[in-house]
Structure 1
């Protein structure tokens, strides 16, 4: 999943870093070689005896740069690896010779010594410096893009993250919604789920976008699964007896998301648009603009008609006013629709060499039909009803019916998998890697997700069969008769579930779990016959678009494996 680039956290035109004195580096070369290089080597090795010999002669060198990058002796020692005891003794002695302002010195990359210690995971060094100057935690490093806590999280140093987080206040002015969200996501990405839970408890908005769902979807090992009878926990009986921190975090995130409107939930599950697909991105923009347009005009239609019909006018005057408004309404809607459609006027060729227009074109046709329909409906009602009460009621009913029908049709068009390049991507990321624990938690609170299909018109169960994830496939046994409506579904190539079982398992769990072609073939046959028992008999002999039945596809895909096993 794509994370927000660190460069987006840059402060425009940042001030120069708070550099140490550069006189030693920029002064006479022999003096630098005698003092600067000696102090550098001592700092790398945490050799206090050697460092002290230099500092006794010139104690001011604690605040001098000893590299061209602006690093002090403390910078060098803070980021080095070695004996922890030597490190603590060296840093304690060095910090004892420095003022609080000295500790705030930055190198050319804006990094303080504490920042480098956090990035290196040297938690004891962090503790020593923070004890002297807590403000160090709020000084942004890495070119003014990242706080020390974020640096420790980025490099996966759990102990450093835990300590710095405990001593940080994410409401300080150095923190923004952006870097809080980034910290939350990187903690989850590096399996620091307890830190993630704590951040979300204090800053619940960090999980609003749902991007962390994609991170969790890729982590099947982070979720505990108790066998057997896996799905009984997800539909009725609640949750597993043993729950990992990842599962607790997922539950917190999902409980907030599932309360949102259905369309917003779907957008979160789909994730951001696919990169490198300009045509489909343009479609997305078109569809969004058309959705906004429809929403605005729908609201205008209802508000204006209610306003007209609530006024005490003669029925003939109301009818004329309604007619005039509807005429203006349909003209405006049509003109604005055309302006949007003309932004991407050309057809595209999809991957199956089929020429078709984007979803915006279909919405355009729907709007045209809606314009004609509402105009005709209003004319018909006005002709048939003369009584004031009946006219008002019938006009409201006619307009309400038109709006309702348009809403349903627009939703059908937008949700058409033909036009979606990433439908419910989070679900299918989890299904592809076999993250059944993740899926169970989502389904437990939103069971209708079992009907979601990806761009190839495959459900999570089809994905489970294709990738040989038995736990996901076994969920079919727990959803009752609904499985009979899912197993016959065909993908974009006409393959049903048994066709997918007939495709050879390449580079997946079956192949890795067996040694030798004969054993792999045996596993493939067992898998195929298991899925065969699940698929309705009449679908076992259906042809796909290549004219192959599941049995024929199995034979074709496994012929090399049969030959290797002979």
Structure 2
């Protein structure tokens, strides 16, 4: 009897990882003829019972013989007794740790946990009997509350493996020792979310722990949590790339529950696409399990629509800052652009594969998937998806949005998706079909171009004036495409496209005027200051004049010639810059002025101001050389370095704006044919 009960306790490490003291708010104590023994007893019983050790204190799990006879009849130490003794000492330690110091001294010499338990009963049981009926009722209620509250903690404590797995590499040694000692039903235990330890390992990317768990119990790969997620889906959900690749390598599709099939497989594909940088894995999944491309969630989400939401993957809307563009001119593609290019190629291949599989569906089913993805792509500016869908299913080009009867080019113009709008230039004569189409509100393409662009598109452009310029460029470009009679056509609100533009851009126009004047005011001060200084320097030449002849003392020096030329250049360019900024301040600020007139003046003003500052630096350095450095050459080094600060500051702060102005005003623009690929 005793031996069999010991055999049931073959996993003491599970109990040893629990520190009972952590679950007891107070220790057992005795004060003023009263004690907390009833509550303490119930809490201890909860802990002991949760660990399956109740037999050690109620007498049902008796100790085995200390020694047994071996084959030679010699007495040897009984292994069963060693296990029983180890657990009993652990239990006794729990009890002693939960006692007040005064009480511990009374039971310290007792040998077993049962002896300690019985002695405590003898010491405190009489106090419970002397309590009144009302107090007993209150104690019972308190004990029950404590039991209900702490039992949750005791059960949570059983999930030591979950905690260790979630701790990552710090606890991997503990996991290696714990897992082989645990029965498989304990390894497969679930937490409050129904997740096994392998699911947690997948979430945190703990590959070492996952390998240990899978080697011990491969069926963990096919156990779902309460959300229906396999470990495979969890790794994808948390974008754990290496973990996902490992789980794919060990998870088979011929098991009873197939993580790659049906809704589970579709969720896996959506999670992988959501992670963006896992596109290559998504492509492998679709190529291996093509049926996943044809599925939709209850919310009508498809894999094609999901990949369409990833603008950064396609790079169509990626706008590099000034310094990225500057570096790429000399170093070719940067590391980030190379990575983006590879990701884009994988995404395009995935879109092509998805469209191919969807085309095998019935016409109505295919349109249901194509429609959502195509309209979303038109709004986000992902022309690659639009092109692939139209190439696979050409009639989709005539589909309109369900709420406003807008075609893809209406959607592109309203959302300022220039890459999709530019597909018009790749079309055959079918493009004229869109030149006078209207939506449910009577708006043609020019009305939609007259509306204010979405805020996220405006924020891609620096400065309200450049934003206004871009809006006018859109209006002018669409105006060239639409049928002449539609340029003055009124919509359902009785407004022409020009009226819509003026009304919608009233605030942006004022902000552009304010931005222009603020920039001009700041630069005017700098230009005026430079002009004043350089004019004074021209009159009071370095070294003074020869009193006998009236000529400058250093007029024969090459450094003086450099000074004179640079001083003149700085003076004239600063004066020119000053005039340009004054012209900006006195402009009438009509809508058309933001297209060329105002940007041109600002370009000239900033350019001449930069030349003025650079020339001033040269003139200053030449003056320092003439006055001091001819005898002390080292003086020229610090003065020259310090003279570079204004130029460097201007380049860092204003040169990006200057280039943006030049590119936006005189550059190739954002409109035009993007490729030679025919589009319908």
- TM-score category by the smaller chain? 0.5 to 0.7
Determine the structure 1 residue equivalent to 2:524: none
Other-structure match for 2:480: 533
Deviation sequence 1:25-82 (CA, Å, 0-9, x none): 8996469999x9xxxxxxxxxxxxxxxxx999769xxxx997433642211111235x
- 1:202-248 Cα offsets, whole Å, 9 max, x none, are 33222223521221221122225699xxxxxxxxxxxx999532222
What are the equivalent positions in structure 2 for 1:250-261 lying under 5 Å apart? 250-261=351-362
Determine which of 92, 95, 116 is the counterpart of 2:176. 92
Could you tell me which residue of structure 1 aligns to residue 273 of structure 2?
188
Q: Which of 209, 212, 232 in structure 1 is aligned with 2:295?
A: 209
Secondary structure of the corresponding residue to residue 453 of structure 1: coil
1:138 paired residue number = 222
CA distance in 2 between counterparts of 1:527 and 1:56 reads 83
Asked if structure 2 preserves the Cα contact closer than 8 Å seen for 1:70 and 1:106, the reply is: no
Q: Distance in 1 between matches of 2:179 and 2:90?
A: 16
Contact 1:70 1:108 in 2 (8 A): no
- Aligned mates of 2:154, 2:232 — CA distance in 1: 25
| Partner Cα separation in structure 2 for residue 224 and residue 444 of structure 1 | 21
Question: What is the aligned partner in structure 2 of residue 163 from structure 1?
Answer: 246
Structure 2: runs of 5+ lacking an equivalent = 1-13, 25-40, 51-85, 92-150, 297-301, 319-340, 514-680
Change (3 A) 1:528 1:100: same
Tell me the residue number matched to 2:558: none
**Higher RCO by CA contacts (8 Å cutoff, separation 6 or greater):** 1
2:305 touches 2:376 (CA, 8 Å); kept in 1?
yes
Give the one of 145, 151, 163 matched to 2:234: 151
> Could you tell me which residue of structure 2 aligns to residue 562 of structure 1?
509
**Whole-angstrom distance in 1 between the partners of 2:510 and 2:353:** 51
1:442-453 paired onto structure 2 within 5 Å: 442-453=389-400
Alignment of 1:96-107 (within 5 A): 96-107=180-191
- How large is the Cα RMSD of the aligned pairs? 3.6
Asked which structure has the greater CA Rg, the reply is: 2
For residue 455 of structure 2, give the secondary structure of its aligned residue in structure 1. Answer: coil
What residue in structure 1 maps to residue 540 of structure 2?
none
| 2:364 counterpart (240, 247, 263) | 263
- Assess if the C-alpha contact under 8 Å between 2:269 and 2:285 holds in 1: yes
Q: Which runs of 5+ in 1 are unaligned?
A: 1-19, 37-53, 228-239, 270-423
* TM-score when normalising by structure 2: 0.48
- Aligned counterparts of 2:231 and 2:237: Cα–Cα separation in 1: 10
Secondary structure at the residue paired with 2:420? Answer: helix
Separation of aligned partners in 1, 2:354 and 2:88:
56
- 1:88 and 1:157 map into 2 onto residues whose CA distance is 18
Question: Is the contact between residue 223 and residue 438 of structure 1 (CA under 8 Å) also seen in structure 2?
Answer: no
- Aligned mates of 2:343, 2:158 — CA distance in 1: 48
CA distance in 2, matches of 1:128, 1:56: 31
3-state SS of 2:263 partner: helix
Match of 2:410 among 442, 451, 462: 462
- Find the aligned partners of 1:486 and 1:185 in 2 and give their Cα distance: 35
Normalising by structure 1, report the TM-score.
0.56
Q: Per-residue deviation at 1:505?
A: 1.3
Please tell me whether the aligned partners of residues 266 and 295 of structure 2 are also in contact (alpha carbons under 8 angstroms).
Answer: no
- d(CA) in 2 for partners of 1:56 and 1:450? 78
Match of 1:246 in 2: 347
Report how many residues are paired: 356
1:497 corresponding residue in structure 2: 445
CA deviation after TM superposition for structure 1 residue 105, in Å: 2.9
User: How far 1:489 moved relative to its partner?
Assistant: 0.8
